[in-house]
Chains A and B, each alone.
Chain A
Amino acid sequence: GDSVTQMEGPVTLSEEAFLTINCTYTATGYPSLFWYVQYPGEGLQLLLKATKADDKGSNKGFEATYRKETTSFHLEKGSVQVSDSAVYFCALLYGGATNKLIFGTGTLLAVQP
């Protein structure tokens, strides 16, 4: 079945460090891919998305490229801030009748000043 695998956390970085959180997926079709962020005690916020191969999603300095050949959607940011500390979830979704998100287990990012 379809699934999403994320690198295990926690990921601990110093402020201004480069961030990569790995995400790979298994899918029978051609899903859209998403990154959601969850701050402590809150629900999920959509961070960025990509709908087809080679698309690059970006938002708030975060980027991820939909790589069909490697079935990956790695999240990157050039310079993290303390305020980026949160749990990050990679997810896939098919549209139409199967309109449900399939999430990875999440990666906790802790950024230290």
Chain B
Amino acid sequence: DAGVTQSPTHLIKTRGQQVTLRCSPKSGHDTVSWYQQALGQGPQFIFQYYEEEERQRGNFPDRFSGHQFPNYSSELNVNALLLGDSALYLCASSHEFGLVYEQYFGPGTRLTVT
């Protein structure tokens, strides 16, 4: 049973560019959440997708957007990259009606903005 997968593993972009990160949820999961983890900090919630719609959003600007596909996989897009967007981006999947809404995390994508 494959767990949560993310791609790419690492990414280097220049300020002002746009980036797309991808996530495939654990088998049987239908909900995907994205988190940003800055160096030395705990993950911060960006947004969550369920049934191909953004269900809730954290305190992140509109430059951060996402999408969920019919197969439950998801993308995170960040436009007009800033140096401060450099972080580990984590995807977590869960089942809407699962036990205690346990979230399973992928290995993350390390984004470096220069």
Interface residues of A (CB under 8 A from B): 4, 32, 36, 42-46, 49, 51, 89, 91, 93, 95, 97-106
Which of the residues B6, B41, B48, B107 comes within 8 Å of A100, measured between beta carbons?
Answer: B48
What's the least CB distance linking B14 to chain A, in Å? 24
Known contacts A97-B55, A101-B45, A106-B41, A43 near B94 by CB under 8 Å: no
- A-facing residues in B73-109 (Cβ within 8 Å): 90, 92, 94, 100-108
**Interface Cβ pair total, 8 Å cutoff:** 64
Q: Given A97-B56, A105-B42, A106-B42 in contact, is the A43-B108 Cβ separation under 8 Å?
A: yes
Q: B72 on the interface (CB 8 Å rule)?
A: no
A-B contact pairs, 15 of them (CB 8 A): A4-B42, A43-B107, A44-B43, A46-B102, A46-B104, A89-B43, A93-B100, A97-B56, A98-B56, A99-B33, A99-B55, A99-B56, A99-B101, A101-B45, A105-B42
Asked if B24 is an interface residue, CB under 8 A from chain A, the answer is no
Asked if B58 lies at the interface with its beta carbon under 8 angstroms from chain A, I say: yes
The answer to whether A103 touches B107, judged by C-beta atoms less than 8 angstroms apart, is: no
Shortest CB-to-CB span from B30 to chain A, Å, is: 12
How far is B31's CA from A93's CA once the two chains are assembled, in angstroms?
A: 15
Chain A residues whose CB sits within 8 angstroms of the CB of B40 once the complex forms = 105-106
Chain B residues in the interface with A (C-beta under 8 A) = 4, 6, 31, 33, 35, 40-45, 48, 55-56, 58, 90, 92, 94, 100-108
Quick check: B42 and A100 within 8 Å, CB to CB? Answer: no
Name the prevailing secondary structure of the A interface residues.
strand
| Residues of A close to B107: CB separation below 8 A | 42-43
- CB pair B101–A93 under 8 Å, yes or no, is yes
| Interface pairs A-B: 8 shortest CB-CB | A103-B42, A44-B105, A43-B107, A43-B105, A100-B45, A95-B101, A43-B108, A105-B42
Closest to A99 in B: B101
CA distance A51 to B99 in the complex (A): 10
Q: A96 — nearest CB in chain B belongs to which residue?
A: B101
Shortest distance from the beta carbon of A1 to any chain B beta carbon, whole Å: 10
Q: A89-B42, A102-B45 are in contact. Are A43 and B56 (CB under 8 A)?
A: no
